[in-house]
């Protein structure tokens, strides 16, 4: 449904162009965010500005007169400012107030950017934490001028092009009458200041590039892709502005023995068939040192043995994940005559010397193959 833009401005449908202009000016003076900090006023200000634009922009006004809504894009997203006709709110305000609401010169100093440095860690460094020395190459404050950008004994001076306002104005005639528009001063880039004699070390930028070494404490339990934030260690900004942050991004090198799944570690061991059948004790190298691992008699290939709290410490919280040992049982591939004889005797004792079938008791091979086919 089309908005009643006349109503928004408190006007009747037969209001003249002069009425519209007067009503908008009156409302804008009360509601403009520079004057009225109330968030509701801001919303109302946008509403009346939109109404003003709808009723004064010839193309939009044509749509309003036809009973439509020039800001209704059909997807409920509304229109927005800065569309055809006007260059946005700033232009409208400038049109009325002749730059009276300008923001003044912008600061010569601006905040610096964040910096990102990747580091590579071995698994045990990620698990137990470490301290890393990093070489960082960023912009730092110029020590010669302390960020001021001026040569020793000199000072910044007021820009003569804009008299320190940071912008220059021009006057044009348009359908609204006389329009004063302002643009950023080209001499001082809007800062209102110039540096007659720049600092020789930083050429007036207030910062220089520098290589330095910092140590980074990596907490126990970090993971690939995580970032450690070092506040204020990033780039110093133009004009010696406050430094951004430095982010150290963790890249974990793959380990020969262990793979990581969050807070758990996994490894594989191979066991001879006889050890798996009889049970044994394994000497297992963990990140914490040698451990004895009991393997129960009758352990199957593919089974897992869990060592509690031998994984990765929890970065948030307490305790550690587990170390999961995956067991592969190896079938002997070459038997000498005596071993083969013993094996046959064992098979006979176990009644396993007959040909096997896929219709054996326990479902056996056939049902397992069928389940595998159907993803069960
Ligand atoms: Zn200037
Ligand atoms: Zn300097």
pLDDT tens-digit series, residues 58-76: 888 888 887 778 877 543 3
Mean pLDDT score of the chain? 85
DSSP 61-128: HHHHHTT--TT--SSS----SS-SS---HHHHHHHHHTTTT---PPPS--PPPPEEEEEEE-HHHHHH
Cβ neighbour number for residue 21 with a 10 Å cutoff: 19
pLDDT at 357: 77
Note the pLDDT tens digit of each residue in 101-139: 446 788 888 899 999 999 999 999 999 999 999 999 999
Rounded to the nearest 5°, which phi and psi values hold at 304? -120, 140
Predicted TM-score (pTM) above 0.85: no
Centre of ligand 1 from the C-alpha of residue 151, in Å: 20
pLDDT at 374: 58
Residue whose C-alpha is closest to residue 55's, from 1, 96, 11: 11
pLDDT at 42: 84
Rounded mean pLDDT of 205-228? 94
pLDDT at 203: 94
Give the lowest-confidence range in 4-18, 73-87, 223-237, 328-342: 73-87
Proximal ligand: closest to the CA of 203: 2
pLDDT at 99: 44
Residue with tokens 């990620």: 126
Proximal ligand: closest to the CA of 204: 2
Stronger pLDDT, 143 or 177, i.e. the higher one? 143
Give the lowest-confidence range in 93-97, 254-258, 315-319: 93-97
Residue whose C-alpha is closest to residue 125's, from 228, 253, 215: 253
Centre of ligand 1 from the C-alpha of residue 183, in Å: 10
Centre of ligand 1 from the C-alpha of residue 326, in Å: 72
pLDDT at 148: 92
Stronger pLDDT, 192 or 104, i.e. the higher one? 192
Proximal ligand: closest to the CA of 185: 1
What pLDDT band is residue 98 in, cutting at 50, 70 and 90?
very low
Give the lowest-confidence range in 23-37, 160-174, 245-259, 294-308: 23-37
Centre of ligand 2 from the C-alpha of residue 116, in Å: 25
């Amino acid at each position: 449904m089309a908005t009643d833009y006349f109503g928004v401005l408190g006007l009747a449908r037969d209001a003249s162009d002069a009425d519209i202009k007067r009503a908008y000016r009156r409302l804008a003076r009360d509601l403009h965010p520079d004057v009225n900090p109330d968030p509701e006023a801001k919303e109302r200000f946008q509403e009346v500005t939109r109404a003003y634009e709808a009723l004064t922009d010839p193309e939009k006004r044509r749509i309003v007169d036809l009973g439509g809504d020039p800001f209704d894009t059909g997807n409920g997203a509304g229109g927005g400012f800065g569309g055809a006709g006007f260059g946005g709110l700033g232009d409208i305000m400038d049109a009325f107030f002749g730059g009276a609401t300008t923001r003044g010169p912008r600061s010569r100093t601006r905040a610096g950017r964040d910096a990102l440095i990747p580091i590579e860690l071995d698994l045990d460094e990620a698990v137990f934490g470490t301290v890393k020395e990093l070489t960082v190459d960023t912009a730092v404050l110029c020590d010669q001028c302390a960020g001021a950008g001026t040569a020793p004994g000199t000072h910044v001076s007021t820009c003569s092009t804009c008299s320190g306002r940071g912008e220059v104005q021009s006057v044009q005639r348009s359908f609204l009458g006389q329009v004063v528009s302002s643009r950023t001063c080209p001499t001082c880039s809007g800062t209102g200041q110039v540096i007659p004699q720049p600092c020789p070390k930083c050429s007036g930028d207030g910062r220089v590039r520098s290589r330095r070494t910092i140590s980074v404490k990596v907490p126990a339990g970090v993971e690939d892709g995580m970032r450690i934030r070092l506040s204020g260690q990033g780039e110093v900004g133009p004009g010696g502005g406050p430094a951004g942050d430095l982010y150290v991004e963790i890249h974990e090198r793959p380990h020969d023995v262990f793979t990581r799944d969050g807070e758990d570690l996994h490894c594989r061991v191979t066991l001879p068939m006889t050890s798996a059948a009889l049970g044994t004790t394994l000497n297992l190298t963990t990140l914490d040192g040698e451990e004895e691992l009991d393997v129960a008699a009758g352990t199957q290939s593919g089974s897992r043995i869990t060592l509690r709290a031998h994984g990765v410490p929890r970065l948030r919280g307490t305790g550690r994940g587990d170390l999961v040992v995956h067991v592969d049982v190896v079938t002997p591939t070459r038997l000498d005559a005596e071993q083969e004889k013993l094996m046959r005797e064992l098979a006979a004792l176990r009644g396993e010397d007959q040909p096997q079938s896929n219709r054996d008791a326990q479902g056996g091979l056939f049902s397992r193959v069928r389940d595998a086919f159907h993803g069960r």
